Structure 1
Amino acid sequence: MEHSILSIIPPILAIVMVILTKRVLLSLGTGIIASALLLGKGSISETFLIFWSAVKGVFLEAEGLNSWNINLILFLLLLGVITSLINMTGGSRAFGEWATTKVKSRAGAQLLAAFLGVIIFIDDYFNALAVGQVARPITDRHQISRTKLAYIIDSTSAPICVISPISSWGAFIIGIIATVLASHGLDDISAFTAFIEMIPMNLYVWTSLLFVFIIAIRGLDYGSMKKHEERAIETGVLYDPDKVISGEVKENLPVSDKGKVRDLIWPIIALFVGTLSAIIISGLHETTGKASLMDIFGNADVALALVVGGLLGLVVGMLSFYRQVFKHNALQANWMVKAFKSGVQSMLSAVMILLFAWVIIDLIEQLGTGLYLGGLVERSNLNPIFLPVILFLGAAVMAFATGTSWGAFGILLPIAGQIIAVTDMALFLPGLAAVLAGAVMGDHCSPISDTTILSATGAGCNLMDHVLTQLPYAISAAIISCLGYIVIGWTEKTIFGLLTVGICVFLFFFMLDRRKKRAQI
């Protein structure tokens, strides 16, 4: 069953079910069972053992505890409690009131969220959750749908991380590129230099960012996102209350009327500073000899750093809470229990979805779904002109089916190097960049992607609402990126690919704008 066409059945089954039923856990569970049955060749006992091994692998590995997964879960729970404390101290309320004097339009609120996404480029997980916490009070105040906020977060997290050398993504990718360059004897260029040169070649990133800023400024929404935005504007309902909302505090908590903006800002600053400091310290600890920024970020334990930052943010949030208790008499000390209980409960849905996603990703990896799809790309004997676009689409399909862009990086970057080395070396870096771009695109569209799940959690919206509203935007950006990669393959010039993307984006939104104006007449 492994490495064959059958290996794509479980992820396709899970994705189709989640789109049709909107029941994420049921759909992921079905995909998990299908994967285990294929791996166990129909044997019930073998299937159960494989399933149990995958579940156990979420928490345990050969060396002991799976610290990455456990720390990420702890961080989610900590963030839920911090959010509850910020709400109870009146920080969110005060920040929303302050923001109305500074951010006076829906476009301004969306642009603020987008700029925050660009600035916080250390790690996509941290980006997705931190931007959501800061931007949500402002976007809520301006009646921007939660799905719109999730789209902005998702389109400025992974796309920025994938072109940032000083990030957990950059360190991972540069490490793979170094291996690819060495395997082909390309010692005239360093992996870092190659990464920097590939940044303008990552067409999907630039297309996605253009989409985010143009849509925010001009309000040119389409597809199901338009319906969500219209509902938010007309009724003030920012999300479907009948659906499960990860990261949303469900209990009506008491809120201090003496809260200040600092009650929101300081816990977030503590979270950011604590995380960044822990990344640097852990990276230095694991680096021998002279440490560069790349070495530090590459060797850092980001998940542990998130927990450290979360604990520091929690301490600052608790200090703000007790200041409201003892200085302002606006809260009661025993309400701290409510804050912890409500915060943890708000994140349980996200944690469960993430756990299911990790299990199915592990089983899909055992099935060799990525290797099978990578082999299809490797065996495609088409004109070299089409290599960049083929690699882009291949990486998109792989990331969509496996729910991990990093898996697509690890499998397809070496394959892309092999294909291009025997066809046209002028397309070496554009081909590798196309893999990175395609993997991010597929990750954007996949409901089993952890980045997608955390973007919905950070925004406080339903996961499938986020997936279905973002999908038309991601596909539109992908089609334009494909045209750009065809031009790069034909001309072997990145500038012409970028110009193609720019012109296509302009024409696309020009037509949308004209259609919007005609509808208003």
Structure 2
Amino acid sequence: MKKKVAIGLFISAFILFSMNGEFRGATGDTVDFGWFSLVPPVVSIILAFISKDVIISLFFGIFAGGFILHLADGSIFYAIVQSFLSIVDYTLNSLADPWNAGIILQVLTIGGLIALMTKMGGAKAIANALSKKAKGPISAQIITWILGILLFFDDYANSLIVGPVMRPVTDEKKVSREKLSFIVDATAAPIAGIALISTWVGYEVGLIKDGYEAIGQEVNAYSIFVETIPYRFYNILMLLFVLATAIFLREFGPMLTAERRARKYDQTNEAEINPNASNEIDEMEPAEGIHLSIWNAIVPISTLIGVAIVGFYVNGYQAILTGEDTALINSLKESPFSFTSIQEAFGASDASIVLFQAALLASIVAMTMGVWQKIFTWGKAVETWINGMKSLIITGAILLLAWSLSEIITDLGTAQFLVSLLSDSMPAFLLPSVIFILGSIISFATGTSYGTMGILMPLTIPLAAALSPDPEFIVMSAGAVLTGAIFGDHCSPISDTTILSSMGAGVNHMEHVKTQIPYAMLVGSIAVLFGFIPVGLGMPIGIVLPFSMIITVLAVYFFGKPIEEKK
């Protein structure tokens, strides 16, 4: 009830505030909305804190933007009506964009592919093969980490597969459920966010593309995405942090207590498992009575990766040949398979189309394998594929709303206003750190990194371009958005991957959150102090990244204490 009252009061205050707004006329028919251009992202952020629901937050952010746009043209009642119509218009425009449509299809298709591989037992077979190699606590944790890395293509699949499969192994080797859930969570979004092919890449590439268009630059967004990877300090350092804690067998904070307890007692209390876990995990279980084979995962995934690589080259090659760069066309024809030609072709490719094509062909391969092995019929295969898509419907909704918010922010001139407001008042070197911290706060409040990226990316790229003419500065600022969103999501108790990780590992959810937050905070602090601030000051990433990795390993060794207490 208090939440509803707070939302009602906030919306009422927003309407009253907007009614008193005066917009300055500019040249022609354009309007300078000034501070009111900040209304959509501010409404989305504040509602995210109040409602903890990114769908609601993005929806009302778009509504607020439409309200401001139309308030300049008529009465408040006209503005309210047009605001609702604007939500429909902006959403339809977002869906009608071929790039956006390709991204949604790609994400849904990969969701269907994951369901097929799971039903065929391929994912579980790989996990079982790895689990047999565990000889003690160190190897059990490292194998869990490796399995999480191998399931790079989707964070949900990681959370729902790794935990249940490795739980008996880590229980046997006296590794706490809290540590298992941490490893699962730390290799879910962090690896999916930087993987070259995943359910994340299309969305991240799309946001980068829109951000550069806002400053009038036509770039290959996929190439920029690849360039941001070294600047994803939190993702990279968290993956390293997990490995270091496993190798050194050193922990600190609540995790140390949990690990020492696990070494002494059998604390596998199944009553603590999330009551919703059984249904989710059952859906991820292979078909009954089938022979588990690792090839049921290796072949579809290899198809996905192989077709994508070939597709990037072919798609980019065709795009260059139909372009106007004569010198590049001649170079490509003369040496089609030289390193430069391959690099240019990959750079000119359309990731949304290629990844959708690759995922679709990989899905057909998986269906064919399943039918040939009599695991399911063609009808059941299609049904499984569609059910896999259903798990990512919410992702599609977030994508459409985030794109719509980005478009309305562009129409209001929010980025230009922020640029004029902050370009002379903020030291340029601080921007990546500030963006990282702001992204972590928003994603912590909403429990989702997708919505956070959608709110911040359209603002960050224009602001970075205004603060510094260095193209690398824009890249590192975009990387700060993408990794900061994951940091906050990793800490958030309402994050879907946080919930799925604790559920899959069979541990009390808040125990998982309590033991994980100190680790995330430490890695996040290292990312700012030894990552974003130095690169913001101009230090080369080739020095900053290795140094921050060394600091992370030393932090584990010196902050952590041995699991086995000295007698």
Q: TM-score by structure 1 length? A: 0.68
Contact 1:487 1:497 in 2 (8 A): yes
For the residues of structure 2 that align with 1:305 and 1:239, how far apart are their CA atoms? 40
Residue matched to 2:464 = 416
Matches within 5 A, 1:85-484: 85-87=119-121, 91-104=122-135, 105-113=139-147, 115-116=149-150, 126=153, 128=155, 139=166, 142-143=169-170, 145=180, 148-159=183-194, 203-204=233-234, 206-218=236-248, 234-235=268-269, 240-242=274-276, 250=283, 254-288=287-321, 289=329, 290-291=331-332, 292-325=341-374, 331=375, 334=377, 336-367=378-409, 377-382=422-427, 387-394=428-435, 396-397=437-438, 400=442, 403=451, 405=453, 411-413=459-461, 415-420=463-468, 428=470, 431-432=473-474, 434-445=476-487, 473-484=519-530
Residue matched to 2:335 = none
For the residues of structure 2 that align with 1:406 and 1:8, how far apart are their CA atoms? 10
For the residues of structure 2 that align with 1:175 and 1:349, how far apart are their CA atoms? 26
Greater shift in the superposed pair: 367-376 or 3-12: 367-376
| SS in structure 1 of the partner of residue 187 of structure 2 | helix
Q: Given the alignment of the two structures, is residue 36 of structure 1 paired with residue 68 of structure 2, yes or no?
A: no
Amino acid at match of 1:351: I
For the residues of structure 1 that align with 2:63 and 2:435, how far apart are their CA atoms? 25
Q: What is the Cα deviation at residue 36 of structure 1?
A: 0.7
For the residues of structure 2 that align with 1:251 and 1:200, how far apart are their CA atoms? 33
Contact 1:57 1:66 in 2 (8 A): no
| SS in structure 1 of the partner of residue 120 of structure 2 | helix
Contact 1:398 1:442 in 2 (8 A): yes
Q: What is the Cα deviation at residue 480 of structure 1?
A: 1.6
Amino acid at match of 2:129: W
| SS in structure 2 of the partner of residue 286 of structure 1 | helix
For the residues of structure 2 that align with 1:471 and 1:364, how far apart are their CA atoms? 31
For the residues of structure 2 that align with 1:37 and 1:174, how far apart are their CA atoms? 24
Going from structure 1 to structure 2, the CA distance change for 1:268 and 1:5 (only over 3 Å counts) comes to closer
Q: CA RMSD in A?
A: 5.2
Q: What is the Cα deviation at residue 71 of structure 1?
A: 1.8
Q: What is the Cα deviation at residue 267 of structure 1?
A: 2.2
Amino acid at match of 1:320: M
Greater shift in the superposed pair: 234-243 or 293-302: 234-243
Deviation per CA, 1:485-507, whole angstroms, max 9, x where unpaired? 44566795768755763564245
Q: TM-score by structure 2 length? A: 0.64
Identity of paired residues, percent? Answer: 16
Deviation per CA, 1:207-263, whole angstroms, max 9, x where unpaired? 3443243244446677898999999972479973427998x6638763234343222
Residue matched to 1:82 = 116
Going from structure 1 to structure 2, the CA distance change for 1:375 and 1:47 (only over 3 Å counts) comes to same
| SS in structure 2 of the partner of residue 267 of structure 1 | helix
Contact 1:79 1:310 in 2 (8 A): yes
Uncovered stretches (5+) of structure 2, i.e. residues with no partner = 1-17, 19-32, 69-75, 171-176, 322-328, 333-340, 444-449
Q: What is the Cα deviation at residue 444 of structure 1?
A: 0.9
For the residues of structure 2 that align with 1:344 and 1:222, how far apart are their CA atoms? 44
| SS in structure 2 of the partner of residue 107 of structure 1 | helix
Amino acid at match of 1:35: I
Contact 1:251 1:342 in 2 (8 A): no
| SS in structure 2 of the partner of residue 403 of structure 1 | helix
Amino acid at match of 1:362: S
For the residues of structure 1 that align with 2:307 and 2:529, how far apart are their CA atoms? 43
| SS in structure 2 of the partner of residue 156 of structure 1 | helix
Going from structure 1 to structure 2, the CA distance change for 1:193 and 1:471 (only over 3 Å counts) comes to same
Going from structure 1 to structure 2, the CA distance change for 1:511 and 1:270 (only over 3 Å counts) comes to same
Contact 2:91 2:404 in 1 (8 A): no
Amino acid at match of 2:105: N
Q: What is the Cα deviation at residue 52 of structure 1?
A: 0.9
- Residue correspondences, number: 469
